[in-house]
Amino acid sequence: MSSLILINHVKEGEEMANKYRLGDEIKNVIQQHHGTSLIRYFYEKAKDDPEIHTIREEVFRYPGPKPQTKEAGLVMLADSIEAASKTLPDPTDAMIQGMVQKIINRIFIDGQLDECELTLRDLNAIAKSFNRVLDGIFHQRIEYPEPAYITKEEAVENNDSKPSADKGGDKKDKGGSKNGIRRLGVS
């Protein structure tokens, strides 16, 4: 049932494209963005179920067609990689690169890119691009020792709104922060 729901999203996408009168190029990409790929998770789950005796792989494959253009192949790769990246618990650069390469290899070996004009050179450039984007999304941030902002109430409570000693002498810091730095939106 789960694989049927996933397979049906392509048909729903086609219907939406027709409803909103999207061009044929976009409709074609929607039809082709999963090609005839295997819905591996549910296929493996069905194989492991002792109550299911006969499993036909074609039941767990999208109806296609396979991507016919570079753009459709790129969307197929992007869709698969984006979905898989959400499953990485604490991604490192090496994990991201390994995942990207594994997915591209799996799609390539499954023959999903056989009917589009993506070359190995294209696939290498696509992998590098995906790695850069995902590294940017998942990069680690340093932990700051204090909050990036302090509300006016917190500044008053912490006695941070003392007069500043800049050129004019006893001027009050209008932003309510240390070192004469003004907060945006505070006059």
What pLDDT does residue 122 have? 98
CB atoms within 10 A of CB 119: 10
Asked if 31 and 63 touch (Cβ cutoff 8 Å), the reply is no
> Does one domain contain both 6 and 51?
yes
Domain stop point among 39, 65, 91: 65
What pLDDT does residue 1 have? 77
Which of 47-61, 86-100, 112-126, 173-187 is least confident? Answer: 173-187
Query: Rounded to an integer, what distance in angstroms lies between the CA atom of residue 76 and that of residue 37?
Result: 10
Structural domains of the chain, count: 2
Residue 154 in this model has a pLDDT that exceeds 70: no
Structure confidence by residue, pLDDT tens digits, 125-152: 999 999 999 999 987 766 767 665 666 6
Asked if 73 and 116 touch (Cβ cutoff 8 Å), the reply is yes
Domain stop point among 65, 81, 111: 65
> Does one domain contain both 78 and 140?
yes
Question: Which structural domain range is residue 126 located in?
Answer: 66-159
Q: Which two tokens stand for residue 26?
A: 């976009």
pLDDT band at 166 (very low <50, low <70, confident <90, very high): very low
**Which residue's structure tokens are 């493996």?**
44
Q: Over range 93-108, report the average pLDDT.
A: 97
> Does one domain contain both 5 and 22?
yes
Structure confidence by residue, pLDDT tens digits, 13-54: 999 999 999 999 999 999 999 999 999 999 999 999 999 889
> Does one domain contain both 140 and 56?
no
CB atoms within 10 A of CB 38: 19
Q: What is the dihedral of CA 153, 159, 165, 166, to 10 degrees?
A: -20
Q: Which residues contact 20 (CB under 8 A, 6 or more apart)?
A: none
> Does one domain contain both 77 and 153?
yes
Residue 166 in any domain: the answer is no
pTM, 2 dp: 0.72
State yes or no: cis peptide before 67, omega within 30 of 0.
no
